[in-house]
Amino acid sequence: MELYIVRHGQSTNNALEDDNQRTYDPTLTKLGFQQSTLLAEFIASAPRRDPWMNTATGYSRYIEEEGEGIKPTELLVSPMYRALQTALPISQALDLPAVVRGDIYEHGGIYLEKGNVVTPYPGKTRKQVLKEFPRFILSDSHADYGWYDVRLGRESYGHACGRAISLAIELRERASGRDREARIVMVTHGTFMDVLIKALLGMLPTRINYFQHYNTSITRIDITERDRVVVRYLNRVDHLPAEMIS
C-alpha cells in the first residue's frame, strides 16, 4: 500500500498573525486555492520520480510503465472546509470521488476559544457539503446537523492520538490483506499528520518531536504486506514555486 498524506492549502487561519481572529472552520486563502490547483496537477500528471526499491539491499530501478501521476485508487478527505476545498481540484483532475472521513479532522476539532471559554461547533451539515461538493461521498455518521461531536469541546491530544492509532491499525490490516496494491491520497491537517505518522511508526504517545508539514505538502509512507512501514519521503512540495510555500 502506498499512502500519500497531504496537508490542506493555506487557510485564512494559517495567514493570521493574531490567533484571536481565527474562525472555527476557515476557508482557503487565494494562495491556498492556487496551491491546491498546483497540487492537483502534480498528483494527476507529474512524472513519477519514485523508483521501485528493495529496502533490504538498497537496489532500485525506474519503472517506465508507471508513466505520469500518482494514479491513486482512493481519495480520502477530512470534513473540515479547508480540506474539502483542497480535495476538490484533485477529485476533478482524477475524475475520482473523494470519500469524506469523519476521523481524519484536525486535532482540537471545530471550536472557538474566547476568554478561556471554549465553544464547539458541529461543522458543515450534510446538505451544505453535498451542495458544494456533490460528487463527494459522505458516511452515514455525517448528520444533517453536522459531523463534529460537540460533546468533545476542544478535542484533547489524547483523543486525537486515539483516532490516529485506530486509523493506523485499519491501514495496516488493509495493506496485509485485500488492499495491498492500494494507492491512497489522504487530504488532512498538520497536527493529525504528525500523530498519524507517529502511530504508524509506533511512536505514540509523545509531543517531544513533531513532523512539520507545509500547506499542500505530500508525505509518502508505504505499508508492505508483511506489515513493514517504510517512510519514502516527508513534506514534499515539488509542485510549488518557492514564493508559494507556506
Q: Is 65 within a domain?
A: no
- Global confidence as pTM: 0.95
Q: Is 26 within a domain?
A: yes
The pLDDT tens digits for 106-126 are 999 999 998 889 999 999 999
The pLDDT of residue 182 is: 96
Mean pLDDT to the nearest integer, 24-52: 92
The pLDDT tens digits for 161-200 are 999 999 999 999 999 988 999 999 999 999 999 999 999 9
Q: Is 61 within a domain?
A: no
The pLDDT of residue 64 is: 63
The pLDDT of residue 36 is: 98
Cβ atoms within 10 Å of 60's Cβ, excluding its own: 12
Q: Max CA-CA distance within the chain?
A: 58
The pLDDT of residue 66 is: 63
The pLDDT tens digits for 5-20 are 999 999 999 999 887 7
Q: Is 64 within a domain?
A: no
Greatest mean pLDDT among 31-35, 42-46, 52-56, 70-74: 31-35
Q: Is 219 within a domain?
A: yes
Query: How many Å apart are CA 24 and CA 207, to the nearest integer?
Result: 24
Q: Is pLDDT at 55 greater than 70 in this prediction?
A: yes
The pLDDT tens digits for 234-245 are 999 999 999 999
Cross-strand bridge partners of residue 43:
none
Residue 227's domain is classified under what CATH number? 3.40.50.1240
Q: Is 134 within a domain?
A: yes
The pLDDT of residue 206 is: 83
Cis peptide before 205, with omega less than 30 degrees from 0?
yes
What whole-number percentage of the chain has pLDDT above 90?
81
The pLDDT of residue 68 is: 82
For the chain, the domain total comes to 1
Q: Is 66 within a domain?
A: no
Q: Is 62 within a domain?
A: no
| Strand positions, DSSP E, 62-193 | 74-77, 99-100, 111-114, 117-120, 137-138, 183-188
What is the domain extent for residue 28? 2-54+72-244
The pLDDT of residue 47 is: 79
Span of 25-29, 87-91, 215-219, 227-231 with lowest mean pLDDT: 227-231
Query: How many Å apart are CA 30 and CA 25, to the nearest integer?
Result: 16
The pLDDT of residue 81 is: 98
